[in-house]
Structure 1
Amino acid sequence: MAILIIFLLGVGNFALHRAVMDSDHPLLGRMPWFVHLLGGRFTMVVEFLLLFAALMFAEQGNATGPIAYVVYSVLNSFSAWLILTDRV
């Protein structure tokens, strides 16, 4: 069950990440050079590595990774909401 929840959170995180990257928010222009490396795909790779690590922790039966990924997803959703609604 933890693997399914993490996977669904990962899909949501990828969708939010793409929406933020496509938003052309002025804040994105102030990010360091490595954020724009490979057309923004570098940050998608980091997103994937976080998801993969959380899935591996869940597969091993360790609860620390999935809990950390849920916290990350909540913070990621909040920051995406702030950016997409122009509150920042």
Structure 2
Amino acid sequence: MLVFFLGVFNFAAHKAVLESGHALLSQVPWFFRPLGGRLSLVVEFAMLLGAMIAVAGHSAGWAWIYLLYSLLNGISAWLISSGRV
């Protein structure tokens, strides 16, 4: 359940960054630009799905890794969305 809720948080943070219109978004690689950059949400989903499958297979280490990823993602999203970067 924790990984799922972290995934919801990561999607919300990712969407906030995409909607921020920050200048950094113009520098994303070409393969993430289709659909207004929302193709990167597919990568976010793949990471969540992989983490959930690994955790369901009793690999608690992946839960910790996904928690660390979520913390870094949240900090990055806050920095970008608030204009501090």
TM-score clears 0.5: yes
Identity of aligned residues (%): 47
Alignment correspondent of 1:82: 79
Alignment correspondent of 1:18: 15
Structure 1 vs Structure 2 CA RMSD:
0.9
Conserved in 1, the CA contact under 8 Å of 2:18 and 2:38?
Answer: no
Which 4+ residue blocks in structure 1 deviate beyond 2 angstroms? none
Residue 57 in structure 1 maps to residue 51 in structure 2:
no
Task: Could you tell me which runs of 5 or more consecutive residues in structure 2 were left unpaired when the two chains were aligned.
Answer: none
Conserved in 2, the CA contact under 8 Å of 1:21 and 1:40?
Answer: yes
Task: Could you tell me which runs of 5 or more consecutive residues in structure 1 were left unpaired when the two chains were aligned.
Answer: none
Quick one: higher RCO (CA 8 Å, sep 6+), 1 or 2? Answer: 2
Conserved in 2, the CA contact under 8 Å of 1:53 and 1:65?
Answer: no
Mapped to 1, the partners of 2:38 and 2:68 lie a distance apart of 23
